[in-house]
Amino acid sequence: MPLIIDGKETAARCLAETAQRIAGLRARGITPGLAVVLVGENPASQAYVRSKDRTCRELGMHSRKIELPADTAQDRLLDVVAELNADPAIHGILVQSPPPPQIDESAIVKAIDPRKDVDGFHPLNVAALAMEDPAALVPCTPLGCMELLRAHDIATAGARAVVVGRSLIVGKPMALLLMAKGADATVTVAHSRTRDLAAVTREADIVIAAIGRPHFLGAGHIREGAVVIDVGINRVEDPASPRGYRLVGDVDFDAVAPKCRAITPVPGGVGPMTIAMLMANTVRACGRQTGAA
Ligand code: NDP
């Protein structure tokens, strides 16, 4: 039987550590603050924003949720970001993705003060990660994947890792983290133009799937004894579910799990880690901005 990596349990431990740090800061009169900006009414985004707001409050952080109408202009959103940049009670700023089409997301990310960029998407943080600068604020999802590996004693040094996906929010930073000194994996990044993907992923000791296609990786993609981290969150129709859909990963869990040494489920794997890392990043950012770190 493979080890089923329990993201909920690992995230709960990370959150407990973060709560302790917050208590320490509050004892010194400092309350970390996170602002989450949502433009429009995408139901999945609304659910993510609610969950971030709730987690902040549960941990004793200051949370500001700013909901703007779907037709918000770029300049208005830039004004909101500027106001949050200047607000000393806010140490982390996040604009929920995806924004409506009139918004230039990249310009918004660049407008966020890099010290408050708890998503780690600002070019200065991307560069800092690539340069292995410990001051980098690192994107939460790949950071959560690294924490899952660490917490489950899955060695990365010398391991062959294949990251499927090359997005700025998951695939690229994931590859950088795995190849960084200290993690020391030998990393291959695959994408939609990769020839014979299964032959590439079958070489891997560790497969990270960040594709966005339900059950895309099957038993033929994975070698015996591999570790599989499934980042994918995909809605598939399910008439038996009260919501009419259920969430599945990029990996066909039932087909792949019997071959694995360890695997993350969806839901309950990487997802809970992302929010836990967001909280940790906010507390780190707060520590730096207030000189308390
Ligand atoms: P993107 O759509 O930005 O990137 C998907 C990547 O997968 C691209 O690099 C794409 O290649 C690659 N890809 C697509 N089709 C194939 C294929 N047939 N073969 C090989 N590679 C392929 O997605 P994200 O990185 O934002 O997200 C990936 C998944 O992770 C989604 O399911 C998303 O919902 C989930 N996610 C989960 C999070 C969590 O908290 N657990 C957080 C963020 C995302 P190319 O570049 O060539 O197009």
Per annotation, catalytic residue among 96, 113, 172, 250: 96
Q: What does the pLDDT profile of the chain (293 residues) look like in tens digits?
A: 899 999 999 999 999 999 999 999 999 999 999 999 999 999 999 999 999 999 999 999 999 999 999 999 999 999 999 999 999 999 999 999 999 999 999 999 999 999 999 999 999 999 999 999 999 999 999 999 999 999 999 999 999 999 999 999 999 999 999 999 999 999 999 999 999 999 999 999 999 999 999 999 999 999 999 999 999 999 999 999 999 999 999 999 999 999 999 999 999 999 999 999 999 999 999 999 999 97
Burial of 6 (0-12, 13-18, 19+ CB in 10 A): middle
Cα(94) to ligand 1 centroid in Å equals: 20
Rounded-to-integer distance, Cα 208 and Cα 191, Å: 12
The helix/strand/coil state of 178 is: helix
Cα(211) to ligand 1 centroid in Å equals: 3
Per annotation, catalytic residue among 52, 117, 172, 289: 52
Indicate which atom in ligand 1 lies nearest the CA of residue 211: 7
Query: Would you state the structure tokens that stand for residue 105, as one six-digit string?
Result: 């997301």
Does 172 participate in catalysis according to the annotation?
A: no
Helix, strand, coil proportions of the chain in percent (round to 5)? 45, 15, 40
Q: Which residue has the least CA distance to atom 15 on ligand 1? A: 192
Does 96 participate in catalysis according to the annotation?
A: yes
Q: Which residue has the least CA distance to atom 6 on ligand 1? A: 165
Cα(122) to ligand 1 centroid in Å equals: 19
Rounded-to-integer distance, Cα 130 and Cα 178, Å: 11
Distance of CA 72 to the CA centre of its chain: 26
